[in-house]
Every structure is written in structure tokens, then in C-alpha cells.
Amino acid sequence: MKKVVKFGGSSLASAEQFVKVGNIIHADEDRRYVVPSAPGKRFDKDTKVTDMLYACYALAEKDHNFNAEMAQIEKRYQEIIDGLKLDLDLTPEFDKIIDNFKKKAGSNYAASRGEYLNGIIMANYLGYEFVDPAEAIRFNEAGVFDAELTHKLLSKRLENVERAVVPGFYGAMADGTVVTFSRGGSDITGSIVAKAIQADVYENWTDVSGFLIADPRIIDNPKGIDIITYGELRELSYMGATVLHEDAIFPVRKEGIPINIRNTNSPEDEGTWIVGHTCQKSKYTITGIAGKKGFASINIEKDMMNSEIGFGRKVLQVFEEYNISFEHMPSGIDTLSVMVHQSEFVDKEQNILSGINKAVSPDNVDIQSDLALIAVVGRCMKSQRGTAGRIFAALAHANVNVRMIDQGSSEQNIIIGVSNDDFEAAIQAIYSIFVETRI
């Protein structure tokens, strides 16, 4: 078997954490490809190395002296090296980084050095080959990830490499310009590597034992999720579940490679398995609940709207012209609502309203603001009668007014819109009826 193991920043924040990671890797001979993140926080008020690099480069961009800030970053890595008793000198690497900072190599380059340096340490610690993602993870000239070319290059680069460390979070354009994924992008790198080597399992090690049914900041000690499908995960990740980067599932999904979310600090826990399909039923009707605040709903009314060809296209074209993406679009015979991020919409609202009036001549348009969207997700929902009714009953009992509902055709998710002020109460009510009382 071949396993790719990705370790998050908290798992690699100190020499002590490195030792835990080393023990995990050596405990299974199949763990042959390692994707490290940059060192994260060692304690609550600590600073992540990536943030230190961003701040340091911001000074360099303004031609300010950044020696003291860079010295602090060097100190962080030297503490790890000393703690692991490695014979490793990163001075030449830091000299190169300092020179590139002065040459204004870019914030992407600056941020990527956290993973790059941690990868060098990890490779030395394990005795694995170091593979720089800039060699094989490719972005096009517009800075967009090129999945097809990357798979070709990385598969070839790793073809005869038995054990490797491939730093997460970044790649490069053809000319060598470094480009990063969005924050948390080391998860994506792990998936890319897993696809390239046709791994049997992609293990993603972090500081929690898998996914929880609901946000622990809202629900005290929520139950864990043993197994979840890619489709369910996609819905939950998009709506705020942040254990895994939402784009990390795409490289492995088509290959049928399962992802196992594990806890570096509790390696005995089985964690959560993310799979393409499963006949295993979840313990509860729902698999998980997630949500976000800060939405607005543009509600359009027009008699005989349903018989007007191209009505929906004309409305959405107005949003497209102002570079606003929509989240959901529930509709009726004579009504259409477009849900958008309020922060993106608010400065352009009058232009968009004017555009809608010109495009479709509605009878009425109004806006509801300060809304939250909650996704109730579960592959078992479609085989259970009355799921939506139970949700509404629970919300009514909690005195939560439902402002919008949208159910996907797959019947594995129900999206509910409520006031921002009712967000936490709504999640608590839904969790209670499906998990705690299970009626």
C-alpha cells in the first residue's frame, strides 16, 4: 500500500510536535509521502510562521528594514532543528530568501517559504527525499492551477521516488514564479500528491479527531462523524466546516482515493473517513450541520414569470455584470430570490437593482439583509420521511423564523435561511432534535 500523509501547522509547530509526527510516520511503513505545512501556533497567543512571513515581506515591499522580523523566523526554525538534534544549517536558504525579499519576489513567494523550510527539516529528520512543488505543481500565466499538467509532471517526478517530502500550499508558473493556493492549501497539495502516486489512502493529520456533526463553538461536545461521502463533505465544507480545505476533495474524488482525517495528538483515534460511496448508514438521520452568516436575499416578483423564457438568465446576467456570484436561488411561480454575500453586494446594490428593473421589468423587488444560511446534510435523509417537517418543528419550538428553504435534488441537503441573530439557536435546535433526542 501507499499512503500520503499531510500534517497541518499545529502538528509541526515545535520539535516536540515533529517527534509525534515522526512516530506516526514510522509506525506504518505505508506512510511514504509526506506533505508538511508551515509551523503553526505553539500556544494561543503565538503567531503562525506564515503570518510572520507575510508581515516581514510587507516591510520589504516598502523598503523598510526587516532584519529583526526575519531573525525571529530564523529562530523559530532553529528551535525545531536544535530540538530534533539535526545537523542542518538553513543559513544559505535564509540568505536566498532575504535576497528575494529585497528583489520584491512577491507575497506568494514569501508565504510559501514557511512550507518550503519545514519541508527541508522534515526531509532531513525522516531521511526522505525532498521534492520542491515548484518543480511539478503548475499554475498557468493567470495564476490558475493547471490540474492536468500538474498530474503529468508530478507523476513523472515521483515515479521512481520511494519516500518523499513534498511541502504543501504552493507551486509555480512555468517561469518559476511561485504561486500559492488559498490559506489551508496544503490540504490540496496532499490530494494532488495522492492522485499522482495513485495512493491507497490520503491521511490528513490535524489537531482534531475528524469532523464533528456541528461546530463545537455552538454545540457543547458535539458527536463525531465516522464516515462521510465526498458529496456530503462538499456541502458542509462550503457552508463553513473547516477541518479540510473544500477544494482538497477534487483531485482524489475521481480516483476513488479515501481521505482519513486523523489527530496528531491522539493517533489512536480512527478519525473520520471520507469516501466516494458507502453502504454504511450514519448513526443519525443527518450527517452534519454547518452554516454561515452575512447573506442578503434579493426577492423579485412578477406575474407569469414562469412563462417568460430567459427570465432567470436575464436576472443572473445582471449579477454577473457586477461580478457578484449567487449562493442559492429558490423560486416559485411568480417569485425568484437570489441569495448573495451581503459584503459583496452592499456597495453595488443600487446598480444591481436598477439593472434588474431594466432587464426584466419586475412588479416588485425587495431586499432582506443580515441573513444566515444553514446546511443540514445527510445521505440518509432521502430514505427518512418527514425530515424537513422535523427541522421546521424544531425551529418553531425554538422561536426561530425560517426566511428561506432550498432542498437539493439529491435530497442529501436542505438549506435554511434565518436571521443572523437566530443562527446559533437554529443550529442548536436542529442538533437537538436529530442527535440528542433522535425523535
- What's the number of CA atoms in the CB half-sphere (13 Å) around residue 428? 12
The cell for 51 is 503570518
Closest by alpha carbon to 332, among 368, 299, 292?
299
Confidence (pLDDT) at 410? 67
- Which of residues 14 and 389 earns the better pLDDT score? 14
Q: Is the model's pLDDT at 75 over the cut of 70?
A: yes
Domains and CATH numbers, the chain: 3-207 (3.40.1160.10), 288-436 (3.30.2130.10)
Q: Is the model's pLDDT at 112 over the cut of 70?
A: yes
Residue 217's identity, in one-letter code, is: R
Instruction: Grade residue 234 by pLDDT with cuts at 50, 70 and 90.
Output: confident
Rounded Cα–Cα distance for residues 11 and 399 (Å): 42
Confidence (pLDDT) at 281? 81
Q: Is the model's pLDDT at 412 over the cut of 90?
A: no
438: burial class by Cβ within 10 Å (0-12, 13-18, 19+)? exposed
Instruction: Grade residue 439 by pLDDT with cuts at 50, 70 and 90.
Output: low
Residue 196's identity, in one-letter code, is: A
Confidence (pLDDT) at 331? 87
Confidence (pLDDT) at 106? 97
Closest by alpha carbon to 318, among 350, 363, 366, 364?
350
Confidence (pLDDT) at 438? 64
Count of beta carbons in the 10 Å neighbourhood of residue 332: 10
> pLDDT tens for residues 154-193?
999 999 999 999 999 999 999 999 999 998 899 999 999 9
Distance from chain centroid for Cα 367: 30
